[in-house]
Amino acid sequence: MKRRNPLLAGFFNVLIPGSSHLYVSNNWLRFILFFVVYSLVIFGVTLLGNNIQDVREYTLPQGLCTGTLLLGIFAFLFYSGMKMASERNSETDSAVHYQSMRTHISKDDPITRLAKLQRQRDEGLISSEQQETKKAEIESKKK
């Protein structure tokens, strides 16, 4: 799994709502779902802001209410895109660290490798011929 830039994911999510799902995990279904939902939310917030602005007692300059509401939505979109990429990077780092620890043990310790080989055979993941071949390789490297 590749690492993803959280700032870029947030920026993509602001430009096209839901696009961080494509950038981070290539998930088209979530992209379409989030695009539709957030587009409707942005449309609704724009209408709400314009309706509030049209109230006669409202004294703020034109567009300030709508802009403030939209800024909140876009800030949330940016944050959610960043968070998604950061979580993916954390998962990737954990998986890489775990995998590096596993291969380190199995390469250095022939006894561990033989036990793993026996487990694979017991579970039916490899044939007895494959087990014997790999066992011979491990024992030849041990000597």
Residue pair 74/10 in contact by the 8 Å Cβ criterion: no
pTM over 0.75: no
State pLDDT tens for residues 59-117. 677 778 889 999 999 999 999 999 999 999 988 888 776 766 665 554 567 888 888 88
Q: At what angle do helices 110-122 and 128-142 cross, to 10 degrees?
A: 180
Return the biggest CA–CA distance within the chain.
Answer: 91
Three-state SS sequence of 22-66: HHHHCCHHHHHHHHHHHHHHHHHHHHHHHHHHCCCCCCCCCCHHH
pLDDT tens digits for 48-74? 988 888 776 766 777 788 899 999 999
